[in-house]
Amino acid sequence: MSENVWLAFSLTLLAGLATGAGGALAFVAKKDNMKLLSVGLGFSAGVMIYVSFVEILRKAEIALTADLGPELGPWAAVGCFFAGMLAAALLDKLVPPGISYHEMQINQPEESQAELAGKLERMGLLTAFVIAMHNFPEGLATFMGALEDPALGVSLAIAIAIHNIPEGMSVALPIFYATRSKLRGFFFALLSGLAEPIGGIVGYFILRSVFSDGVFGISFAVVAGIMVYISLDELLPMSRESHSGHASMLGLVLGMLAMAVSLLLF
């Protein structure tokens, strides 16, 4: 049993570190390249929208159906999804004046560049937070799965690691453009990924008695709603404003494609 615990922890740790690997891709970005920023923000939105609808919400519905039955389960998943969107909207209202996306535009005079940097950093940190929220129950599920069946744990860890790479990119890029620090972008991408092993450890020592399909499903559906709201309300509008043309749409499609391929491969 102790060997399985160490294996489960190692697998969730490796899956989480893949988010940092994605964040390391910020090291290839060039500062002041607004087209790349537009593509990157669109990419982030594509990753978050696709994984929310195709993977996270679907898993939430399956878990809640197992917990509540085929009639109530899908309704509960939809309700929690929109509750997540509502929570994100309410949090948006609490943002102090001057750093809300809706109060600023990308193409402002030079004196507003500090405000733009603050907004980009806030966006990156917010993305890191919601991805960490997503990674926490994901890590818990991987850890518990590996305890019961090591082969299943390996498969889950590989699948999660693959799609954690684009998630890490979505965290690191806006933070890099805000702070001009590639190391800072990488750090927060890595930090969001470490929610995977933390989720596994907390689950093993604390939440084993209360963890259920219902808890898993609710948390996943709420996180999906938050991720979609942030993508539509902040990432995509900012992407379109940072560069004219179809850079935003290109990033959106590339983000969806990267996530789709990662999910199909594993």
Does 167 appear as a known binding residue?
yes
Distance CA 24, CA 188 (A): 11
Distance CA 189, CA 147 (A): 27
Does 241 appear as a known binding residue?
no
Does 234 appear as a known binding residue?
no
Q: DSSP assignment, residue 212? A: -
Does 4 appear as a known binding residue?
no
Q: Are 20 and 168 in contact (CB under 8 A)?
A: yes
Distance CA 251, CA 44 (A): 8
Q: Are 210 and 70 in contact (CB under 8 A)?
A: no
- Sequence-ordered list of residues with C-beta below 8 angstroms from that of 97, at least 6 positions apart, any chain: 103
Distance CA 86, CA 80 (A): 10
Tokens coding 122:
């806030």
Distance CA 161, CA 58 (A): 19
Distance CA 222, CA 23 (A): 25
Does 71 appear as a known binding residue?
no
Q: How many CB atoms lie within 10 A of CB 128?
A: 28
- Sequence-ordered list of residues with C-beta below 8 angstroms from that of 54, at least 6 positions apart, any chain: 259, 260, 263
Does 33 appear as a known binding residue?
no
Distance CA 263, CA 118 (A): 33
Q: Binding site membership for Fe(2+): which residues? A: 135, 138, 164, 167, 196
Q: Binding site membership for Zn(2+): which residues? A: 138, 163, 167
Q: Binding site membership: which residues? A: 135, 138, 163-164, 167, 196
